[in-house]
Structure 1
Amino acid sequence: MTVLQCTGLQAGYAKSAPCVRGLDLTVDAGEILALVGPNGAGKTTLLSTLAGLLPRLGGTVAVESDPLASGRPRDAVRAGLVLVPDDRALFRRLSTEQNLRLAIRGRGNRRAGVDRALQYFPALESRLRVAAGQLSGGEQQMLAIARALLQQPKILLIDELSMGLAPVVVESILPVLRQVAETDRTAVVLVEQHVRLALEIADRAIVLVHGEIALTDTGAALAADIGRVERAYLGVGASAGA
């Protein structure tokens, strides 16, 4: 089942020079889609636009076939689109538990919600009373993802999962994303600079270059032939088809 569909999406900060141009994209329930590409390719701009933080310059976005209004982040969250931004957007002076409880507000029992978050990331249990700003980078990323998951997204958008983190920390988080995709049927759209890590978990990957799809294939196929990805980055011999 397709949960996210973009048609002719134009995104950016000036209509005369969009960062993302004419993008057609679908994501299915339970699918992990990796968005990779060089710096300035439009990856973060795309996620910010999907999440309603930036108004669209053109095109349409639909969640489960229902059109999504442009530039309205609350509407995006209500529709099931939840973004974990690259800065994680935590309330740094509040404790880990308080950050989690804020995400649960209006969504049922808060204690049960915190317990559910700890099932995703047991390492946070001993850090519940610690201010978010005092957590390690890996713990902050776990908290940001746990907080997003407590909003019960249909589509989880994660911008730069590995930013500032050691690969071993990222590798401890990736199985949680796979669990969420397979068990909860949540679609995950992951922007990631570390291509090999992204392809390790992705069902499908897209190489975005200059705001356009330069290459798309399964994560496994691209991981087995990383040269195709490198050529796509450089704009050499790339094909958008699988």
Structure 2
Amino acid sequence: MTAALRCEGLQAGYAKGRPCVRDLDLEVRPGEVLALLGPNGAGKTTALLTLAGLLPSLGGTVEVSGTAVKSGHARAASRAGLVLVPDNRELFTTLTVEENLRLAVRARRQWTSERDAILDYFPGLRDRLQVQAGALSGGEQQMLAIGRALAQHPTVLLIDELSMGLAPVIVERLLPVMRQVADTTETAVVLVEQHVHLALEVADTALVLRHGVNVLEGDSRTLSATPELIEQAYLGAHHNGGGSETMAPAESVQ
């Protein structure tokens, strides 16, 4: 099976010659969920912005369904099927829920069926269609942001910090929807999330970045059963005698 998303040797950052993410390899097949984990500043958002074409890569390759995606071109990435839900959601706050969704639907003649399919994932939005996006709760705004992304029929859905500003109980309701989306539409999902145990419950695989380097990857169930490996990856598995931290080598857990 051809990978929905494959990147090899990805170098990502904001200044030439100074990558924040180094030599990142990842592969996500259709219908799979990858949890991209790591402490703050690890390079997770930078990696997603680069995959989505909002930042030019500093090296490496990105492919969607076996076809190379041109670096630094958001429209090309979107046409290829890479759709990003950013951590700030970027909704049109003065437009209604329905208007936000309508703008994202590409097949205008299928608007009603497209809208209804999105509302099946997020039934809480059914009674909020005529409410301005800026008046929604944080959880409702996140539902709308994801729904708007799904309206574009992504091959790969990139979600940055789904839980940003949300109560844990809302996150517990939203994350399983990402599993449902992957299972029912064969969309590949790359999920950046700080609620590690919740992310591992819905993901197939996980990858931990630290200081821009992949320090741990493997099957999510295995990693969930060995939380000490996650802790070591977050904190740094090895310390030298002088007390300063040194990086652990990347480790794969199957």
Range into which the TM-score falls when normalised by the shorter chain: over 0.9
Letter in 2 for 1:192: E
Distance 2:56 2:18 in 1: 14
Larger Rg: 2
For the aligned residue pairs, the C-alpha RMSD in angstroms reads 1.1
| Residue aligning to 1:202 | 203
Report whether the alignment pairs 1:240 with 2:241. Answer: no
Indicate conservation of the 8 Å contact 1:101/1:113, yes or no: no
Q: Which runs of 4+ in 1 moved over 4 A?
A: none
Distance 1:153 1:168 in 2: 27
Distance 1:197 1:219 in 2: 11
Indicate the SS of the match to 2:4.
Answer: strand
Indicate the SS of the match to 1:5.
Answer: strand
98-107 or 225-234, which deviates more: 98-107
1:83-102 to 2 correspondences below 5 Å: 83-102=84-103
Indicate conservation of the 8 Å contact 2:82/2:157, yes or no: yes
1:21-100 to 2 correspondences below 5 Å: 21-100=22-101
Letter in 2 for 1:210: H
Indicate conservation of the 8 Å contact 1:85/1:159, yes or no: yes
| Residue aligning to 2:154 | 153
Letter in 1 for 2:96: S
Residue 234 of structure 1: CA displacement? 1.6
| Residue aligning to 1:129 | 130
Letter in 1 for 2:95: L
Structure 2 unaligned residues grouped into runs of 5+ = 239-247
Indicate the SS of the match to 2:15.
Answer: coil
Letter in 2 for 1:240: E
- TM-score (normalised: structure 2): 0.93
Sequence identity percentage? 63
Report whether the alignment pairs 1:217 with 2:218. Answer: yes
| Residue aligning to 1:176 | 177
The structure-2 alpha-carbon separation of the partners of 1:108 and 1:12, relative to structure 1 and needing over 3 Å to count, comes to farther
Letter in 2 for 1:148: A
Indicate the SS of the match to 1:33.
Answer: strand
Residue 108 of structure 1: CA displacement? 3.6
Indicate the SS of the match to 1:241.
Answer: strand
Letter in 2 for 1:101: R
Distance 1:234 1:122 in 2: 39
Residue 16 of structure 1: CA displacement? 2.3
Aligned length: 242
Indicate the SS of the match to 2:251.
Answer: coil
| Residue aligning to 2:15 | 14
Indicate the SS of the match to 1:168.
Answer: helix
Q: Deviations over 1:136-194 (max 9, x none)?
A: 00000000001101100010000000011111111111221111111111100000111
